[in-house]
Amino acid sequence: MNHPLPPAVFKAYDIRGTVPTQLNELFAHRLGLALAARARREGVRSLAVGYDGRLSSPGLAQALKSGLHAGGIDTVDLGLAHTPLVYYAAHHEGSGSGVAVTGSHNPPDYNGFKMMMAGRTLHGDDIQALRQAMDGIQAPSGTTPGQNVANDMVETYIREITDHVRLARPMRIAIDCGNGVGGVAAARLFRALGCTVDELYCEVDGQFPNHHPDPADPANLQDLIDHLRDTDCELGLAFDGDADRLGVVTRSEQIIWPDRQMILFARDILQRVPGAAIIFDVKCSRHLSRTIQEAGGTPLMSQTGHSLIKARLAETGAPLAGEMSGHIFFKERWHGFDDGLYAGARLLEILSRSDDPSATLESLPQGISTPELKLPMAEGEPHEFIRRLQTEGCFPGATDRVIIDGIRAEYPDGFGLARASNTTPVVVLRFEGDTPEALTRIQDEFRAAITALLPGRELPF
């Protein structure tokens, strides 16, 4: 008899939880059986499987493959591989299907599964359908077991990138992989592009002994900033635990957040694809939307979430999409999945035309903004609170309210955002203003609106 499944691990965009209390090899085997059943229904015969550097990842990957094989599905075994390489292999092998065993940027005792099937990233209802399928699942009788074929695709991946991404001149850069699995390919890729590469923490170590592999937290970029100050590197690139997100720092210690990176990418792409739509999530700066319009493109605001952004990209045929967390998707000249290493390559291609890449990045427009601020709540509380804030919240100075994902109040000189995280029980807040006074005024309106619904609650701003 199968053990009960922990419902909390079935997230909006993937499956993720602690090992072994929530996820273990039995869970992975059952997931493999459920994915095999879906693959058979959709006419998929093979899935690419890769895993990150966490200590639990090889065992979970092996159990997942055993479930897929028992369900009659073949596997292309990528071994230790960053998540975008799994996506790349799924495209390259033609099935559009794969599983990355990864805990992304979570602590070492976490792990998880990011999945795509027949060209679609599984999310939302797809994840819940897998949960239902796993409950009581058994291997089908009379099915010919699937086979495993090992295929190290790193060189193929690097070759395809270097075939179309060309730097105008050699560059010296520093990269920080945070001991994540990006270390398998990052330095090799950037050297193949013609860079001199200083490596920080590129040895894969699932304990993450130097700092947490999450470039969204400024503290995790400090070692890279220090290295740039002490060397003649032109730029610093940082990657999260499974290398699907990019962080960027300049020589003068400025962090170029992903919405500003998107300004640079949008300007570049719209020169070749005039009038195209560019997709970004609700957390991004107003300057991104303005820049897209100024460059002749069409700005499209979307819900946050890499799976949701990817689905919107497929629906619209947009050449570029991105979100504030650092997931950036190139459809122009690439395959439309989020890849921190590829985004870094495209960034260097643009910046190699400049004598001072840091100055080019620092000249990108920006407001005065906060990082993501998090208001912790009980499990299940954030979404209900946001629903109340959308209907009952008072924002008297706002000129517009966007409610596609939480509530984003637009002002003539800034914006404020409150949305429920789909991965942890928190409300995420972000604010931007043209001046410190505007920022303070917008925060005060949100403070009043939130406190009216949650009197006495301590707020993170």
Concatenate the DSSP letters of all residues of 23-40 into one string: --HHHHHHHHHHHHHHHH
Q: How is residue 267 written in tokens?
A: 């300007």
238 membership: H or E segment, kind and range? strand 235-239
104 is catalytic: yes
Secondary structure of 374-409 in HEC code, one letter for each residue: EEECCCCHHHHHHHHHHHHCCCCCCCEEECCCCEEE
Judge residue 274's burial from the number of C-beta atoms within 10 Å of its C-beta, 0-12 exposed, 13-18 middle, 19 or more buried: exposed
Please state, in angstroms and rounded to a whole number, the distance separating the CA atoms of residues 242 and 107: 12
Residue found under tokens 């199968």 = 2
From the candidates 46, 56, 97, 104, which is the catalytic residue? 104
Q: CB of 126 within 8 A of CB of 187?
A: no
Provide the token pair at 95. Answer: 């099935």
The answer to whether 174 and 222 have CB atoms below 8 angstroms apart is no
Alpha-carbon torsion 426, 427, 433, 438, what sign? Answer: negative
Alpha carbon of 264 to those of 155, 222, 298, 407, 417: distances in Å? 28, 24, 15, 27, 24
Which residues are 50's β-sheet partners?
79, 100
Number of C-beta neighbours around residue 48 at 10 A:
27
Please state, in angstroms and rounded to a whole number, the distance separating the CA atoms of residues 354 and 250: 14
Catalytic positions: 104
